[in-house]
Amino acid sequence: MLQLQKIRENKDAIIDALKKRNIDADVMLNGVLHLDEKRRSLQTELDSTLAESNSISKEIGIFFKNGKAAEANELKAKTTALKEASKKLGDDLNTTTEELQNLLYQIPNIPHESVPGGSTDEDNEEVFREGTIPKLIEGALPHWELAKKHDIIDFELGVKITGAGFPVYKGKGARLQRALISYFLDKNTEAGYTEIQVPHLVNEASGYGTGQLPDKEGQMYHIQADDLYLIPTAEVPVTNLFRDEIVKADDFPIKYTGYTPCFRREAGSYGAHVRGLNRLHQFDKVELVRVEHPNNSYAALDGMVEHLKNILRELKLPFRILRLCGGDLGFTAALTYDFEVFSTAQDRWLEISSVSNFETYQANRLKLRFKDENGKTQLAHTLNGSSLALPRVLAGILENYQTVDGIKIPEVLVSYCGFDSI
RNA sequence: GGAGAAAUGGCAGAGUGGUCGAAUGCGGCAGUCUUGAAAACUGUUGAGGGUCACACCUCCGGGGGUUCGAAUCCCUCUUUCUCCGCCA
């Protein structure tokens, strides 16, 4: 959520910046300013009404104490009108505040100045590429064929017990999954991230805190009986640990990593691009979350990018990094880098990580603040990134590492797997 | 799931209808003393709205109510604790 004060001060600059997202925010922002003005004038009016009735109440108290009931009762009569007025003003104020809030929820984050214009993923800007794309053996297979051939992932079995998009990992497939999770967590904790295990279900307030609600209402699984949501990413529970918190400036950098399954309804997905592991309703992911001082958040983002590069180098997977264009940028992000691994057998790039700086956008909703050098409280910056999303890394490994003698396991994973080929 | 108790500032904990945004202690910060530190002493120390700055307003788990006036009384929800039941 954007800060009201910034909208008041920089309306035109914000409208301009939001054009990168291909939206015309003119009407929305004017609506915000109008409601804000209305809210403040109602607040002022209510405050003075309350101030008056407060002081009368005090006088009444004093009269009663001194045994002057007549005078007290005379004053009581005066408060009736004030009470009615403050009730009405209070109701109006609440309505206006709610309208204002709802409007603010609809305005996405301001893209960072480095975000390129554009509307689709084709307009994303490639900023880095590394690794050689391997020449595949004769008759190389896509991962869903390999999974079947070696009986390591069973998609049909998942359909039977749950539905499409819920695969069952078996034998070496399951073990490889577990190996990847351990390997990622180890790399992250070595880099100073604290490992954490969090609930996989969150309440509504957490959904609003990180911005999945109301923007992505239909994309989360919702358990109606208990009004809880299955997490679409560990970002939600981990970042919400800091909801309504005021941290100390010395606490920075705050760095967490956690493994969770992720649940996504993916309503509206279809076609060849969702085959196999490419798009699932349930998948595993190891996540990085950081809370940073505003002065340091972009350095932190760069640090996360470098960290992920190292992991992909160790896995020896060819990858590239994209800076997302305005049209492809997530609702809450100011700047996002996507990491993609090249899937040789599918001849396409697969997104395996998304690393973002949200600046104060999430913090404003979360009320995540810190005391700065002058003892003033101000909003912190939040960041997160996948390190990494399992299924597509798995797909990349299966496809890129296939040989005539089976699938080789990347060297760094052998000790985690306990075998070197499938 | 059943019965009872409770929820107050960073923490502990007082406060049962009126000068209570809240005693006191601890912690934090600043200062005095000290070569320095510790101890001791002094001061200071919640959040949000509003204002150029004050004033002023709101917040004692959430929501609603009673009252001129609510941390305090009533209703409701949530959470925690104790006991019982069930259980990985």
Q: If we measure between CA atoms, which residue out of A393, A214, A381, A383 comes closest to residue A319?
A: A393
Sign of CA dihedral A233, A236, A238, A239: positive
- pLDDT tens for each residue of A388-420: 999 999 999 999 999 999 999 999 999 999 999
3-state secondary structure of A337: strand
Task: Round to whole Å and give the CA distance between A369 and A297.
Answer: 14
Do the bridges between strand A319-323 and strand A335-343 make them parallel or antiparallel, or are there none, so unpaired? antiparallel
Neighbours of A192 (CB within 10 A): 11
Using CA atoms, how far residue A248 sits from A112, A370, A373, A380, in Å, is 26, 5, 10, 10
A85 CA – B25 C1', rounded, Å: 44
A83 touches strand B (CB under 7 A): yes
Residue A70 confidence (pLDDT): 81
Residue A333 confidence (pLDDT): 96
Q: pLDDT means per 10 residues in chain A (422 residues)?
A: 91 94 94 93 91 89 81 83 88 90 92 94 94 87 93 94 93 96 97 93 89 83 86 94 87 93 81 78 96 94 97 96 95 96 90 96 92 83 94 94 93 96 91
A35 touches strand B (CB under 7 A): no
A249 touches strand B (CB under 7 A): no
- HSE-CB at A83 with a 13 A cutoff on CA atoms is 8
Are A147 and A394 in contact, with CB atoms under 8 Å apart? no
A43 touches strand B (CB under 7 A): yes
- Report which residue is nearest nucleotide B18 when distances run from CA to C1': A61
Contacts of A119 (CB under 8 A, 6+ apart): A22, A325, A326, A327, A328
A143 CA – B68 C1', rounded, Å: 76
Residue A7 confidence (pLDDT): 92
Q: If we measure between CA atoms, which residue out of A304, A305, A355, A365 comes closest to residue A330?
A: A355
A243 CA – B31 C1', rounded, Å: 35
- HSE-CB at A378 with a 13 A cutoff on CA atoms is 14
A47 touches strand B (CB under 7 A): yes
A53 touches strand B (CB under 7 A): yes
Residue A268 confidence (pLDDT): 64
A61 touches strand B (CB under 7 A): yes
A24 touches strand B (CB under 7 A): no
Residue A272 confidence (pLDDT): 57
C1'-nearest nucleotide to the CA of A226: B78
Length of chain A: 422
C1'-nearest nucleotide to the CA of A41: B50
Helix ranges, A66-126 (H): 69-105
Helix/strand number for chain A, H first, E second: 12, 18
| Beta strand residue intervals within A249-281, DSSP E | 254-263
Q: If we measure between CA atoms, which residue out of A286, A414, A389 comes closest to residue A338?
A: A389
- pTM here? 0.92
DSSP 8-state class, residue A294: G
C1'-nearest nucleotide to the CA of A52: B56
Helix axis angle, A171-190 to A390-400, nearest 10°: 110
A348 touches strand B (CB under 7 A): no
* Chain B, protein-covered positions (CB within 7 A): 18-19, 47-51, 55-58, 68-69
Using omega within 30 degrees of 0 as the cis cutoff, is the peptide bond preceding A134 cis? no
A250 CA – B38 C1', rounded, Å: 24
A64 touches strand B (CB under 7 A): yes
Neighbours of A26 (CB within 10 A): 13
A220 touches strand B (CB under 7 A): no
A323 CA – B88 C1', rounded, Å: 46
